[in-house]
């Protein structure tokens, strides 16, 4: 097998100078350290790209802090960078191309894909990006190997005026757009988003994009202020204890049409159901903990006909639109970044993402 190896971006040779790289390796519950590891070897149909930026997702934090997956792993799936090598048969990309990449894509032909339940496809559940060890995204490393099905259907070229940091939002925007549409948010509806971290802010922005009036809540004053700044009608402090009263006052006593719950707390599910009008919808976005159990009043579903919906990961149907929303700067994604850390300081980045301070929104890991 031969490989094309190159090239140059902004005058800098991006070819690996050795066969090793730096990567943040998960070694067990709560333990991540930056180590020197081999640069992944690519095969036919594959691409190696140098990671320029990778966002920290709440799912990464959960896996690390709770030890949900066996070590060793290299996490990070909200990533963008520059192609440095391509394997035989790759025609869509060449060295020097700037790209953003998803880490999952569905097969397109199975029972679940035919019904557009793409995230339940067995092929979708295979991670197609790795920096080594068991594939798990790999964005917290200097180089990542993209497997053939990702190269074919999951990598997107970046326009010249889109920064790598902005591009890291393509995947989370997709997951949030999928969730908002799963909740059937429609023009003119009243929507409440609980939690205004980076995902909650994206859910708010995309519910507005769908034509809804959006109210939000968050216990952190800085995040409530950001929510108003980015377009929420109002943002409430849940500690005040009057969120239900405030929402009913604004909906003629009915409650909101849809509640988007962006906080992984089982105690908030009954509250979300109470905020929804009869026949309304509650979308659980952050409840992907494999051991969490939920309790809620049965009558809210069985009598008041409220729906509880789930949404997991991205949708290939929204791939082009989510990229367009970022590339055309229709969402203020760059303004959502509050902190940037070099890879060597990822421990501090993960700690801040897990325990945000008053001004913390999106935390991004960058490679120089």
pLDDT in tens, 8-51: 333 346 678 899 999 999 999 999 999 999 999 999 999 999 99
User: Which residues, in sequence order, are CB contacts of 63 under 8 Å at separation 6+?
Assistant: 26, 69, 73, 75
Query: Does residue 42 lie within any of the structural domains?
Result: yes
CB 256 within 8 Å of CB 231? no
Query: Does residue 18 lie within any of the structural domains?
Result: yes
Domain count, the chain: 2
Three-state SS for the chain is CCEEECCEECCEECCCCCCEEEEEEEEECCEEEEEEEECCCCCCCCEEEEEEEEECCHHHHHHHHHCCCCCCECCCCEEEEEEEEEECCCCCCCCCCEEEECCCCCCCCCHHHHCCCHHHCCCCCCCCEECCCCCCCCCCECEEEECHHHHHHCEEECCCCCCHHHHCCHHHHHHHHHHHHHCCCCCCCEEEEECCCHHHHHHHHHHHHCCCEEEEECCCHHHHHHHHHCCCCEEECHHHCCHHHHHHHCCCCCCEEEEEECCCCCCHHHHHHHHEEEEEEEEECCCCCCCCCCCCCHHHHHCCCCEEEECCCCCHHHHHHHHHHHHCCCCCHHHHEEEEEEHHHHHHHHHHHHCCCCCCCEEEEECC
Whether residue 109 is found in the same domain as residue 232: no
Q: Read off the pLDDT of each residue in 119-131 and give the average, rounded to a whole number.
A: 97
Whether residue 228 is found in the same domain as residue 154: no
Whether residue 55 is found in the same domain as residue 162: yes
pLDDT in tens, 233-266: 999 999 999 999 999 999 999 999 999 999 999 9
**Mean pLDDT of all residues in the chain?**
94
Query: Does residue 177 lie within any of the structural domains?
Result: no
Whether residue 218 is found in the same domain as residue 239: yes
Whether residue 91 is found in the same domain as residue 190: no
Query: Does residue 41 lie within any of the structural domains?
Result: yes
Whether residue 264 is found in the same domain as residue 287: yes
pLDDT score, position 291:
84
Whether residue 167 is found in the same domain as residue 192: no
Whether residue 268 is found in the same domain as residue 218: yes
Whether residue 299 is found in the same domain as residue 326: no
pLDDT score, position 288:
81
pLDDT score, position 9:
37
Domain boundary among 268, 285, 310: 310
43 Cα distance to chain centroid: 28
Domain boundary among 266, 285, 310: 310
Query: Does residue 43 lie within any of the structural domains?
Result: yes
Q: What is the CATH number of the domain that holds 280?
A: 3.40.50.720
Task: Specify the pTM.
Answer: 0.94
pLDDT in tens, 312-324: 999 999 999 999 9
241 Cα distance to chain centroid: 30
Query: Does residue 179 lie within any of the structural domains?
Result: no
Q: What is the CATH number of the domain that holds 330?
A: 3.90.180.10
pLDDT score, position 3:
42
Query: Does residue 176 lie within any of the structural domains?
Result: no
pLDDT in tens, 265-306: 999 999 999 999 999 999 999 888 888 899 999 999 999 999
pLDDT score, position 14:
64
Whether residue 97 is found in the same domain as residue 202: no
pLDDT score, position 68:
87
Supply the range of the domain harboring residue 196: 184-310
Query: Does residue 178 lie within any of the structural domains?
Result: no
Residue 78 has pLDDT above 50, yes or no: yes
pLDDT in tens, 344-364: 999 999 999 999 998 999 999
CB 96 within 8 Å of CB 103? no
Dist CA 338 CA 162 (whole Å): 18
Whether residue 165 is found in the same domain as residue 21: yes
Whether residue 77 is found in the same domain as residue 130: yes
Residue 199 has pLDDT above 50, yes or no: yes
């Amino acid at each position: 097998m031969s490989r094309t190896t190159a090239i140059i971006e902004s005058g800098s040779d991006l070819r690996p100078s050795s066969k090793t790289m730096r990567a943040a390796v998960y070694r067990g519950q709560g333990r991540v350290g930056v180590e020197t590891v081999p640069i992944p070897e690519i095969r036919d149909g594959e691409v190696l790209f140098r990671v320029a930026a990778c966002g920290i997702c709440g799912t990464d934090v959960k896996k690390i802090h709770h030890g949900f997956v066996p070590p060793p792993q290299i996490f990070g799936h909200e990533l963008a960078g520059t192609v440095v090598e391509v394997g035989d048969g790759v025609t869509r990309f060449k060295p020097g191309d700037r790209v953003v990449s998803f880490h999952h894509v569905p097969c397109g032909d199975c029972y679940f894909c035919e019904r557009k339940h793409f995230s339940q496809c067995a092929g979708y559940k295979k991670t197609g990006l790795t920096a080594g060890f068991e594939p798990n995204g790999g964005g917290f490393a200097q180089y990542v190997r993209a497997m053939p099905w990702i190269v074919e259907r999951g990598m997107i070229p970046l326009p010249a005026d889109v920064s790598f940091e902005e591009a890291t939002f393509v995947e989370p925007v997709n997951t949030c757009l999928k969730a908002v549409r799963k909740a059937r948010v429609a023009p003119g509806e009243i929507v409440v988003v609980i939690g205004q971290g980076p995902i909650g802010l994206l859910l708010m922005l995309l519910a507005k994009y769908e034509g809804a009036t959006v109210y939000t809540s968050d216990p952190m004053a800085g995040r409530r202020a950001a929510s108003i700044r980015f377009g929420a009608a109002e943002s409430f402090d849940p500690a005040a204890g009057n969120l239900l009263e405030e929402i009913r006052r604004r909906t003629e006593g009915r409650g909101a049409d849809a509640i988007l719950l962006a906080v992984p707390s089982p105690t908030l599910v009954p509250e979300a159901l109470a905020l929804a009008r009869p026949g309304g919808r509650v979308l659980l976005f952050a409840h992907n903990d494999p051991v969490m159990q939920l309790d809620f009043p049965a009558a809210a579903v069985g009598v008041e006909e409220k729906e509880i919906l789930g949404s997991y990961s991205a949708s290939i149907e929204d791939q082009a639109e989510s990229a367009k929303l970022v590339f055309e700067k229709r969402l203020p994604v760059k303004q959502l970044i509050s902190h940037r850390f070099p890879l060597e300081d990822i421990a501090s980045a993960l700690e801040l993402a897990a325990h945000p301070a008053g001004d913390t929104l999106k935390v991004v890991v960058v490679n120089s």
